[in-house]
Amino acid sequence: MASVLCNYVPELLCKFPQIDQTVMREARKLIDDNFKAFVRAYGYILDAAVQPLQWFLNWLQALFVATPWFIIILVMTLIVYVASRNTKIAVGTALSMLAIGFVGLWEDTMVTLAMVTVCTLISIVVGIPIGILMARSERVQSVINPILDVMQTMPSFVYLIPVVMIFGIGKVPGLIAVVMYAVPPMIRLTNLGIRLVDREVLEAADAFGSSPSQKLFNVQIPLALPTVMAGINQTIMMSLAMVVVASMIGVGGLGKNVLQAISNQFLTIGFLNGFALVVIAIIFDRTSQAYGKRLQRHTEVVHG
């Protein structure tokens, strides 16, 4: 049908106009060559800058793997119960972790847990200050919002390309890729939480003579905590999703097993490792949601 139609309309309307291939080839070559030159010139500085992340990740991973399983389960159950104040979630956490151990995935789960913990901590440290800046400045928000839009719509595999070119294959490159993928919800929801603080509360703080920093730390951030917790929840979920992709560049853990199961068509291995990832996701999700609801109720009582 299209070929018949093209017989009756000008060729220009049937053939989409494109940039000349020579121009595109030269542009790609220019960008790639300059990026590679930048990596060769400053790669050692970037490697030195991220070396503390390597040390911290290795230490935490060794701690999780070397600690006896019953201590890990006990500590996790206590943390979940203190955060959620929900006996069912705490008991479910203990039983789920026992099930992971029974199927032989305990060590890989600890490696993944260490990775997600570090990624979440970095996302919090990076995301909350940027979210605060966005909430305090319309200009900053207008600049950062399009960047976050691109980051959240970019296919996850694309994050691996610049990271591998700069840092090579290993845990830290994978960690950086996971953080890049998972940090946007932290930034957005921190910004949203601070902006949703009631104006009357802010006016009352101004009436009492609060400085901008006092108003931020004593009023806005405490009231925004439930929304910030939702951002942490989303960051954890996205970190777990990205861990499987990052296993392509040497992250290890459950993601590596899933990737091997896909390559070799091992249904049982893939299912069991996927089950372990789902268990971790549910534990984090239920705990952070319950803690967020507790914060929200506390906020409503204090300021209601």
**Is the pLDDT higher at 10 or at 280?**
280
Please tell me the predicted confidence (pLDDT) of residue 118.
92
9-23, 131-145, 261-275: the lowest-pLDDT one? 9-23
* 143 vs 131: CA distance, rounded Å: 12
Q: Could you tell me how far CA 272 lies from the centroid of its own chain?
A: 23
* 120 vs 237: CA distance, rounded Å: 10
For residue 247, pLDDT beyond 90:
no
| Average pLDDT over every residue of 245-251 | 81
- 159 secondary structure, DSSP code: G
* Whole-number percent of the chain with pLDDT over 70: 92
Please tell me the predicted confidence (pLDDT) of residue 158.
85
Please tell me the predicted confidence (pLDDT) of residue 290.
83
Reported as a single tens digit per residue, the pLDDT across 149-181 is 988 888 888 888 888 888 888 888 888 889 999
Give the residue from 124, 127, 132 showing the smallest Cα distance to 151: 127
**Is the pLDDT higher at 4 or at 197?**
197
Q: What is the pTM of this model?
A: 0.84
Q: Is the dihedral of CA 22, 24, 27, 31 positive or negative?
A: negative
Structure tokens at 72: 């890990």
* 294 vs 79: CA distance, rounded Å: 15
8 A C-beta contact, residue 148 and residue 140: no
| Average pLDDT over every residue of 63-70 | 92
- Residue ranges per structural domain of the chain: 50-303
Give the residue from 249, 202, 208 showing the smallest Cα distance to 224: 202
Q: At what angle do helices 267-303 and 106-136 cross, to 10 degrees?
A: 40
Please tell me the predicted confidence (pLDDT) of residue 5.
55
At residue 9 the predicted structure's pLDDT band, cuts being 50, 70 and 90, is low
CATH superfamily of 50-303: MetI-like (1.10.3720.10)
* 290 vs 285: CA distance, rounded Å: 8
Amino acid at 244: V
Q: Is the dihedral of CA 295, 298, 302, 304 positive or negative?
A: positive
Reported as a single tens digit per residue, the pLDDT across 105-157 is 899 999 989 999 999 999 999 999 999 999 988 999 999 999 999 888 888 88
The angle subtended at Cα 246 by Cα 46 and Cα 24, nearest 5°, is 70
- Among the ranges 37-51, 232-246, 258-272, 281-295, which has the highest mean pLDDT value? 232-246
- 9 secondary structure, DSSP code: S
Sorted by sequence, the CB contacts under 8 Å of residue 108 that are 6+ apart come out as 252, 253, 254, 256, 257, 273, 276
Sorted by sequence, the CB contacts under 8 Å of residue 102 that are 6+ apart come out as none
Please tell me the predicted confidence (pLDDT) of residue 229.
87
For residue 95, pLDDT beyond 90:
yes
Q: Is the dihedral of CA 74, 75, 79, 82 positive or negative?
A: positive
61-65, 260-264, 295-299: the lowest-pLDDT one? 295-299
Helices assigned H by DSSP within the chain: 2-6, 11-14, 21-66, 69-84, 87-102, 106-136, 138-153, 160-167, 171-195, 199-207, 212-215, 221-246, 254-264, 267-303
For residue 197, pLDDT beyond 80:
yes
Please tell me the predicted confidence (pLDDT) of residue 298.
65
- Among the ranges 117-121, 287-291, 298-302, which has the highest mean pLDDT value? 117-121
* 193 vs 216: CA distance, rounded Å: 12
Q: Is the dihedral of CA 36, 41, 45, 51 positive or negative?
A: positive
For residue 35, pLDDT beyond 90:
no
At residue 11 the predicted structure's pLDDT band, cuts being 50, 70 and 90, is low
Please tell me the predicted confidence (pLDDT) of residue 13.
59
